Amino acid sequence: MEPFRGIGLKLASVVCFVVMAALVKAASDEVPPGEAVFFRSFFALPVIFIWLARSKQGFLSGLRVKSPMGHVWRGMIGASAMFLNFYALALLPLPEATVIGYAAPLLLVIFAAMFAGEEVRLFRLSAVFAGLVGVIIVLMPRITVFNGTPDPREQLGAMVALGGACLAAIVQLHVRNMVRSESTSSIVFWFSMSCTVAGLMTLPLGQWVVPSPLVALYLTLGGLIGGLAQVFLTSCYRYADASLLAPFDYASMVFALVIGYVVFGDVPTLPMLLGASIVISAGVVIILRERALGLSAAKRKRADAL
């Protein structure tokens, strides 16, 4: 294990994902979400092809599957989550869309208990509840009269972002089962292919436009950088444990605040900062708790083996 290398790759993936989101947001005034999903996924494929070709397993490892329907479901749900997240970026400030996305790992704990029969004890359930309170604090000014008359676009954006977080949590739960039989490279490759096809299927809806040269550049760069982000994210787990790397996901908040302010003029509000602090704190507590439980279980196994 090389933990510092793993952390570096994790942070690189976080930066790339935020930059990708900013590029999609910059293009959102001109192109619909379905078109953005296509560009994001299609232009990620060359990066993934190169990564697969250079990997020890070789290019064909990304093509082999044992459960085709597992990939179909992962693609359908994942593409829907991407569509909702891109639509939310068009309607909300970048930092707020980012914070609401943090609901996904919290919802994952609930869904794992409901659908996978995982045991969730009071400590972790309390942290999840606190995190969801933080999400509600972020949502309230957008969906209620808490901050005056709410903007209908922002109301819709808040609900769309929350829907995207729900689907993202379902995808994560599904991928947990997929990794038992499918290689990581095949999951990455076929997800990008699925999203490319899903995005292209929105073309007959008649909403696609021929983007201006600048917006086309944004979308192309968004796809390439998104592909790099996937490669960095996948590679970082070779060098460090997932429990060590998980808290660094929340570094995206810092980058989202900076890019949102500098590029889009998004001034962070007090409810957003307060809610984000609660959500991040709850998420880190859950991660540390799961890490501690994992270490305890490992110690028990070693003791039983002696």
Residue 148 DSSP class = B
With beta carbons less than 8 A apart as the criterion, state whether 15 and 254 touch: no
Q: What is the C-alpha separation between 43 and 170, in angstroms, rounded?
A: 25
With beta carbons less than 8 A apart as the criterion, state whether 287 and 142 touch: no
Residue 269 DSSP class = P
300 pLDDT exceeds 70? Answer: no
Three-state helix/strand/coil letters over 91-108: HCCHHHHHHHHCHHHHHH
Q: What is the C-alpha separation between 187 and 175, in angstroms, rounded?
A: 8
**pTM, to two decimals:** 0.90
With beta carbons less than 8 A apart as the criterion, state whether 36 and 26 touch: no
The mean pLDDT of the chain is: 87
Q: Tally the residues of the chain.
A: 306
Return the amino acid letter for 205: L
Give percent of the chain above pLDDT 90: 55
Per-residue pLDDT band for 37 (boundaries 50, 70, 90) equals very high
pLDDT digits (tens, 9 = 90+) for 245-272: 888 889 999 999 999 999 999 988 898 9
pLDDT of residue 63: 79
pLDDT digits (tens, 9 = 90+) for 53-104: 887 766 776 678 888 999 999 999 999 999 999 999 999 999 999 999 999 9
Half-sphere exposure (Cβ direction) of 131: Cα atoms closer than 13 Å: 27
Long-range contacts of 59-67 (CB under 8 A, 24+ apart): 61/183, 61/185, 61/186, 62/183, 62/185, 62/186, 62/188, 62/189, 62/190, 63/186, 63/189, 64/183, 64/186, 65/182, 65/186, 65/190, 66/181, 66/182, 67/178, 67/181, 67/182
3-state secondary structure of 146: strand
pLDDT of residue 148: 62
